Amino acid sequence: METLTNGIINVHVDPKDKEEATKILKDLGLNMTTLINMTLKQVIKRKAVPFEISTPLFSDELENALKESVIIEKEYKDGKRKGYNNANEMLRSILDD
């Protein structure tokens, strides 16, 4: 009978990420070793990574806000828009108009 030994994987991770993930896994009743073993089993079963890997997409609202900020910055640089040093300056300007 063949004796199996544990396969050891050394992984370098950000200490803060490890700490946060460990806390979440503990709340779920899991530990890092169990999670890694579960993930590897799913990779083998699916012959693929068991979760989506993608570039995060911005919401339409955020995308529009980012586009608007570029326009506002250009208008400010072109002298077509006022700038303020603080909220009081802005409020005074609004009330004076």
**Distance between start and end Cα atoms, the chain:** 89
CB pairs under 8 A, 24+ apart, for 73-80? none
Contact 15, 23 (CB under 8 A): no
Do you know the residue count of the chain?
97
At 27-56, the pLDDT tens digits run 999 999 999 999 999 999 999 999 988 887
Report pTM.
0.52
Structure tokens at 50: 């068991």
Structure tokens at 97: 């108009």
pLDDT number for residue 34? 96
pLDDT over 90 (residue 74): yes
